[in-house]
A = this chain, B = another copy of it.
Amino acid sequence: MSVLATARRSSLLPQTGRDARLATRAGGFKGQTAGVAPGYVQGNLAILPGDVAGDFLRFCQLNPKPCPLLAASAPGDFRLPTLADDLDIRTDLPRYRVFRHGELIDEPTDIRGHWRSDLVAFVLGCSFSFEEALIEGGIELRHITLNVTVPMYRTSIATMPAGPFHGPMVVSMRPMKPADAIRAIQITTRFPAVHGAPIHVGKPELIGIADLMKPDYGDPLPIGADEIPVFWACGVTPQSVVATAKPEFCITHYPGCMLVTDRRNSEFAIM
């Protein structure tokens, strides 16, 4: 879908976080959340049992660039009032994935039947927020221009481990002209709560990426001779780390079906 088509489609989508959650909760919206509620923060979801929740919280604290924690619930509490007053994490995402010992067992649109009194919900910032700021800054994002998924790579950079959670940092890559790369570093520095500044620029081999055309997730992107690759820590890192840890029970968002909050992206700019 072209950017223009996305924009046209967007006007038919919920325009605020609250609209998006109410439509989702009522069962009227089950799609991907890209283009939903422009300007509102969307988040990745990880729900974990109490016995590993403390370790995961510490993992996020140790690795803020790939795991920018926006909110964590009290055990058993399905509300996240700092993200939205009415939020119910069991019903407000279009679709979920439920895992038992690392195995996918369900992809429901509602997880009330899976809820337990020891579960802790974690919402992590995502690149949608800083991409909005980059687009507003006039910077072309190639994966959006070409309507593909941003390429992502497992790197040789190890995350700081916490309990069962450990593994390589995953990064996303956006090719840019050098002047745009510098501007993109400035713009994303303003948003530390949603991955912040890039973690690498230029030479991919220095972070263990052998071939940019062979991403581990997402789609390869053409890079012009006048461009350099710019790498951001990616929210797939905690998903990959949790998959490796194989906790007894776990719920995540379904790919592309994020939590839409009442917070605005601009609120997370530090200046």
| Docked-complex contact B202 and A182, CB < 8 angstroms | no
User: How far, in angstroms, from A4 to B136 measured CA to CA in the complex?
Assistant: 46
Chain B residues closer than 8 Å to A198, beta-carbon distance: 182
Partner of A186, one of B179, B189, B200, B228: B189
| Distance in angstroms between the alpha carbons of A189 and B182 in the assembled complex | 10
Instruction: Enumerate chain B residues within 8 angstroms of A102, measured Cβ to Cβ.
Output: none
**Does A146 make an interface contact (CB < 8 A)?**
no
CB interface residues, A 206-231, toward B, < 8 Å: 206, 226, 228
A197 within 8 A of B: yes
Residues of B within 8 A of A228 (CB): 201-203
- Indicate if the CB atoms of B197 and A178 lie closer than 8 Å: no
Contact B182 A206 (CB under 8 A): no
Tell me how many residues of A have a C-beta within 8 Å of chain B.
18
Across the interface, do B179 and A200 meet the contact criterion of CB distance under 8 Å? yes
When the two chains form their complex, are residues A182 and B197 in contact, meaning their CB atoms are under 8 A apart?
yes
Digit string of A170-210 for contact with B (CB within 8 Å is 1, else 0)?
A: 00000000110110011001000000011111110010000
Q: Identify which of A178, A197, A202, A203 gathers the most chain B CB atoms within 10 Å of its CB.
A: A178
Chain B residue numbers with a CB within 8 Å of A178 are 200-203, 206
**Bound state CA distance, A185 and B206, in angstroms?**
19
Say yes or no: is A271 at the interface (Cβ < 8 Å to chain B).
yes
In Å, the complex CA distance between A197 and B200 comes to: 17
Give the docked Cα–Cα distance between A227 and B236 (Å): 27
Task: Report A227 CB to chain B, min CB distance, Å.
Answer: 9
A186 and B197 form a contact (CB under 8 A): yes
Question: Which listed residue (B181, B186, B226, B271) contacts A201, Cβ 8 A?
Answer: B181
Report chain B residues within 8 Å CB of A271: 271
Q: Which residues of chain B are near A202, meaning CB under 8 Å?
A: 178, 181, 201-202, 228
Q: Which residues of A contact B (CB under 8 A)?
A: 178-179, 181-182, 185-186, 189, 197-203, 206, 226, 228, 271
